[in-house]
Amino acid sequence: MAEVVRFGVIGAGGMGSGHCGMLGTIPEAELTAVADIDAGVRTAISAKYSVPAFENATELLESGLVDAVIIATPHYDHPPIAVQAFSQGLHVMSEKPLGVTVSGADSMISAAKEAAKEYGSKFGVMYQMRAEGPNLAAKSVIESGVLGDIRRTNLVMGWYRSQAYYNSGGWRATWAGEGGGVLINQSPHALDLFTWLGGLPVKITGTTRTVLHDIEVEDEAFAVLEYANGAHGYLYTTTNQSPQQQGLEICGDKGKLTLDYSGLKVVLNETSVSEFTRNNTEMWASPETQPYPVEIPQEGEIKSHAAITQNFARAILFGEPLIAPGEEGLNAVELINGIILSSKTGESVSTPVDRAAYDALIEELKASSKRKTNVVENRVTDPKFA
């Protein structure tokens, strides 16, 4: 294969147009085609990047112009487009989340496995936080085992989104168009990081609610989590909070890791909690603690989304291991579906989430979905990613 991967971007709206621009900064990648069902969007992008534009994914996939696609359509379309692309022997990078449902994500994973065997296709998911230095360092800390047996996890995602943001697309924040609210749209990155570091809980008891926005899906969710080893976790997410924050903690027998906007902090116990509790005889004693120095890997010139796409291109060209393999995107969908299913049924949910139960629930929610009357179409890349 040539030293450059020819990419098509499917869905060239806010995020997809960002990908179109970013591809030009990656030496191993080249934008060769776009597809968007919106004529205005595809004409503008085609003119800006001087590439052919197709009016649907199928035409782009069959064009022979691309080796790989980035799927940046609304979430419901990620699985069918990915499955079709894999059947053509292409490489697929899906935007987050993999899909709205675990069954949709499963379909991508099994198509990817078949295509890997038959054509050598690669499957990636756009979890760009995995490429950030502090997060990579946190992964090394977890893998080193210095925290000991994990006892507690905690994830707080307190963000803000305006009503104008929700009004900017007809698909946004509807059961029929998006398949959920803050859980499916804003939370996947942090949920991916949380499960990448702390693993997938075996039991989820969750609540979702709509507190502040005029939307039919949740703008707030919280959950209690149980892990296979008996550890517990707590999770909160919202688009109603300012000042905004995002942070997670993973607390083990031997120490604690904190990862938030200020970076990574690891503190270790000189004696593990379990050993200290067994052997100490002093009434008010507790384990001495020490900061644990962690080296943060330096990020290259190409960062964030572009770093994930560059790694994906290098995986195709040179077999470089993927930073964000597509199949690992399933865990975030398990958590999202688990919390929504638990809230709607009032019961705790075990993972893997019952595929048939969630499919039935989402069909019911889609059927209840109302056409939005307050849409002011606006496809603008988040300035942080532009």
Ligand X SMILES: NC(=O)c1ccc[n+]([C@@H]2O[C@H](COP(=O)([O-])OP(=O)(O)OC[C@H]3O[C@@H](n4cnc5c(N)ncnc54)[C@H](O)[C@@H]3O)[C@@H](O)[C@H]2O)c1
Query: Which residues sit at the interface with ligand X, rule CB under 6 A?
Result: 10-16, 35-38, 41, 56-57, 72-75, 77, 95-96, 126, 128, 169, 185, 379, 385
Please count the other Cβ atoms lying within 10 Å of the Cβ belonging to residue 303: 16
Exposure of 136 by Cβ count < 10 A (0-12 exposed, 13-18 middle, 19+ buried)? middle
The helix/strand/coil state of 34 is strand
User: Is the Cβ–Cβ distance between 263 and 251 less than 8 Å?
Assistant: no
User: Is the Cβ–Cβ distance between 312 and 93 less than 8 Å?
Assistant: yes
What letter does residue 319 receive in the DSSP assignment? -
HEC string of 52-101 equals CEECCHHHHHCCCCCCEEEECCCHHHHHHHHHHHHHCCCEEEECCCCCCC
Helix (H) or strand (E) holding 193: helix 188-198
Helix (H) or strand (E) holding 235: strand 232-238
User: How far apart (Å, rounded) are the C-alpha atoms in residues 29 and 302?
Assistant: 12
In this structure, the strands spanning 91-94 and 220-226 are unpaired
In this structure, the strands spanning 349-350 and 203-209 are antiparallel
The helix/strand/coil state of 318 is helix
